[in-house]
Amino acid sequence: MKIVLFLMTLSLFTSCGFTEHVEKRARVLNSLEDKVLVLSQEKKSLQGEIVRLRYQVKSLESKNFYLETQLQSKNESKARKIASIKKNDPNDLVKFDVYKWKPEEMVKIAEKEFDLKNYKKSAQFFSSFIDNFPSSKSLDDKFLFQAGVAAYEAGKYYDWSEKYFSMVIENHPTSDFFLGAKLWLAMTYLKQDKEDKFFAVAEEFRKKYRNTTEWNDILSKHYEKIVQKYKSN
């Protein structure tokens, strides 16, 4: 009898423990399933985000490629246009890109055309030489002064003449061409309607250097004519 009761009690305790164990396992499994479901949803959302970002990257790459193509096309078109202007410009008497002049050749042509009073061609050769050979030893005060005169006498390159006369004055203060460059610079200012600058330089020259050879033999005639012309306007 006692054995039967013991077995019945043992069976009861064993059954309760098993049930609790099963319920606990069920709760764990349910929790895991919930986590799996959440992770699955997050994975699906991330996959969707990856697809969206990949599309955006492709879109940006396509846009960047289009812009680079357009920029390259624009630059090539601009380069072709510039090359065409240089090659076909009837006003370009030097055509440096075509003939590839040597420095000594350009100097000879510039000086020869200057002596022949072909100032436009002379001025272009002087200017092209200065641009293409800025470190040449030929760029002394005489060369710059002559380049300035040629540009002035050409009647159209006054910005060049202003530049070259200013270079003589600033870089060669002891030059024999210093005083000449000063008055020619004043005349250049006048041609460009820079009246204040003209009178500042011209009056300085007239007051300080009136007894010089440059003034008496070369520049005084120009000065009086310019002053009279200026006063009549």
Tens-digit pLDDT profile for residues 159-210: 999 999 999 999 999 999 998 898 899 889 989 988 888 878 877 877 888 8
Same domain membership, residue 143 and residue 115 = yes
Q: How far apart are CA 55 and CA 102, in angstroms?
A: 58
Residue 122 tokens, joined: 């002379």
Residue with tokens 């396509």: 62
Flag whether the pTM goes above 0.75: no
Q: Domain ends where: 68, 88, 108? A: 88
- Please state, as a whole number, how many other Cβ atoms lie within 10 Å of the Cβ of residue 120: 17
Q: Which residue matches tokens 């440059």?
A: 214
Do 59 and 120 belong together in one domain? no
**Residues 188 and 123 occupy one common structural domain:** yes
Mean pLDDT confidence for 101-117: 94
Q: Which domain holds residue 20?
A: 1-88
**How far is residue 104's CA from residue 96's CA, in Å, rounded to a whole number?**
13
Query: Which has the higher per-residue pLDDT, 180 or 142?
Result: 142
Please check whether residues 50 and 108 belong to one and the same domain.
no
Higher pLDDT: 129 or 23? It is: 129
Q: Could you tell me if 70 and 168 lie in one domain?
A: no
Of the residues 56, 72, 88, which one is the last residue of a structural domain? 88
Closest CA to 123 of 166, 79, 162: 162
**Residue 114 main-chain phi, psi, to 5 deg:** -65, -45
- The domain that holds 142 is classified in CATH as 1.25.40.10
Specify whether 100 is located in the same domain as 116: yes
Query: Of 64, 88, 112, which residue sits at a domain end?
Result: 88
